Amino acid sequence: SPSDPDLVERARAAKEKLGDKVFVLGHHYQRDEVIQFADVTGDSFKLARDAAARPEAEYIVFCGVHFMAESADILTGDDQKVVLPDLAAGCSMADMATAEQVAECWDVLTEAGVAERTVPVSYMNSSADIKAFTGKHGGTICTSSNAKRALDWAFEQGEKVLFLPDQHLGRNTAVRDMGMSLDDCVVYNPHRPNGGLTAEQLRDAKMILWRGHCSVHGRFSLDSVNDVRARIPGVNVLVHPECKHEVVAAADYVGSTEYIIKTLEAAPAGSAWAIGTELNLVRRLANRFAPEGKEIVFLDKTVCFCSTMNRIDLPHLVWALESLAEGNLVNRIQVDSETESFAKLALERMLALP
Ligand code: 13P
Ligand code: SF4
């Protein structure tokens, strides 16, 4: 079993044997059994920065999903090895934009005469190929904690943004934080000819949103917000910006996982919170803050874990750490050097945002 004391002991022993050679990063959506072994925890932005700040670690064990491990590989030195304890820990949103589809989209934009005025902004939740495309075309990466600053920057470089691959983060940031209207946004559907858009629509739009979404956050609905407000009077609704626009518009607070944690840390005793993000994190926060008299509930009980985040469990972590301790490099995530150089450009633009 994952909470097997034997496994806990083995993970501890392997980590101790590796010492400073290993650095374990844990995303906030990871299971408790895994997060207890993380040297740092964070949102996507913080983990990217922390990975880059550990040049002495030979191994970075990334407890998170594939695109995060790729980003860590891009930002760390060539002699540092990034390990993902289960290679099946992908992200369905990142899979919604392939390199071929995005290249085709750029052709459509070029044909419509808008490509040269368009700056790509790609969410961290994308493959290294998409990040490389972004870097090559003068764009930047963003995360949910700096999306507004990324868009501010992009609109200084050009007139339009192609936002990949999360339509919700793109729309929410444009409308909620930048004062744009819903009409300024169009959705490019990679499964339809010309993205399902006319050249005129592409010319008129300020934000061209890729038709991608998070399968977990996409399930929170306006009904769940209304229901919880009826059930718990005075509740504060706090959601991640990967939620649909109508959910974000009805929420009281919106932000990244790190922001969600900071907000709850600062909340007064006696306050009640409904949280719209991944369940491992919400449960951990509910347990952590209950003794302080803060009531924390999951925004919608029918929404479940992120199944790919959950692939990293204690048995996989033990296997990875013990293999490394025995000198076997397993599950290395390595981005090829051509992709890496362009993807790095885009990631470094993000890290340099004011
Ligand atoms: P953040 O931790 O950056 O808020 O991202 C959430 C997420 O969905 C990562 O997959
Ligand atoms: Fe991807 Fe959504 Fe899971 Fe985050 S929560 S890793 S965006 S599927």
pLDDT in tens, 205-217: 999 999 999 999 9
Q: Which of 42-46, 80-84, 116-120, 284-288 has the lowest mean pLDDT?
A: 42-46
Q: Give the model confidence (pLDDT) of 145-162 as tens digits.
A: 999 999 999 999 999 999
Q: Which of 41-50, 105-114, 165-174 has the lowest mean pLDDT?
A: 41-50
For a ligand 2 pocket test, name from 142, 239, 257, 308 the mutation site with the most ligand atoms within 8 angstroms of its C-beta: 308
Residue 167 pLDDT more than 80?
A: yes
Ligand nearest to the CA of 48: 1
Backbone angles phi, psi at 143, to 5 degrees: -125, 180
Q: Is the CB of 126 under 6 A from ligand 1?
A: no
Residue 59 pLDDT more than 90?
A: yes
Over range 227-235, report the average pLDDT. Answer: 97
pLDDT of residue 304: 86
Query: Which residues line the pocket of ligand 2, CB cutoff 6 A?
Result: 65, 91-93, 125, 214-216, 242, 278, 306, 308-309
pLDDT of residue 202: 98
Cα of 327 to ligand 1 centre, how many Å?
32
Structural class in CATH, domain 217-298 = alpha beta
Q: Is the CB of 125 under 6 A from ligand 1?
A: yes
CB–CB of 342/136 below 8 Å? yes
Residue 60 pLDDT more than 90?
A: yes
Cα of 258 to ligand 1 centre, how many Å?
9
Ligand 2 atom with the smallest distance to the CA of 92 is 8
The residues spanned by each domain of the chain are 5-90+309-337, 94-214, 217-298
CA distance 191 to 101: 9
Architecture in CATH for domain 94-214: 3-Layer(aba) Sandwich (3.40)
Q: Is the CB of 280 under 6 A from ligand 1?
A: no
Residue 3 pLDDT more than 90?
A: no
CB–CB of 319/8 below 8 Å? no
Q: Is the CB of 143 under 6 A from ligand 1?
A: yes
- CA distance to 143, 178, 245, 346, per residue, from 184 (Å): 21, 11, 14, 25
Ligand 2 atom with the smallest distance to the CA of 91 is 1
Nearest C-alpha to atom 3 of ligand 2 is from which residue? Answer: 306
- Please determine whether the domains at 94-214 and 217-298 fall in the same fold group of CATH: yes
Residue 209 carries which side chain, given as an amino acid letter? L
Look over the chain and give the mean of its residue pLDDT values, rounded to a whole number. Answer: 97
Ligand nearest to the CA of 43: 1
CA distance 334 to 287: 37
Q: Is the CB of 257 under 6 A from ligand 1?
A: yes
Look up residue 85 and give its DSSP letter.
S
pLDDT of residue 4: 86
Residue 77 pLDDT more than 90?
A: no
CA distance 286 to 238: 13
Structural class in CATH, domain 5-90+309-337 = alpha beta
Nearest C-alpha to atom 2 of ligand 1 is from which residue? Answer: 43
- State the Cα angle at 237 between 293 and 33, rounded to 5°: 65
Over range 9-20, report the average pLDDT. Answer: 98
Q: Is the CB of 144 under 6 A from ligand 1?
A: yes
Reported as a pLDDT band with limits 50, 70 and 90, residue 305 is very high
Over range 188-194, report the average pLDDT. Answer: 98
Residue 190 pLDDT more than 70?
A: yes
Residue 302 pLDDT more than 70?
A: yes
Cα of 332 to ligand 2 centre, how many Å?
21
Reported as a pLDDT band with limits 50, 70 and 90, residue 2 is low
Over range 45-50, report the average pLDDT. Answer: 91
Short-list 8, 48, 6, 62, CA closest to 324? 62
In sequence order, the β-bridge partners of residue 188 are: 210
pLDDT of residue 303: 86
- Helix, strand, coil % over all residues of the chain, rounded to 5: 50, 15, 35
Ligand 1 atom with the smallest distance to the CA of 143 is 3
Nearest C-alpha to atom 7 of ligand 1 is from which residue? Answer: 44
pLDDT of residue 1: 58
Is ipTM strictly over 0.90?
yes
Look up residue 191 and give its DSSP letter.
T
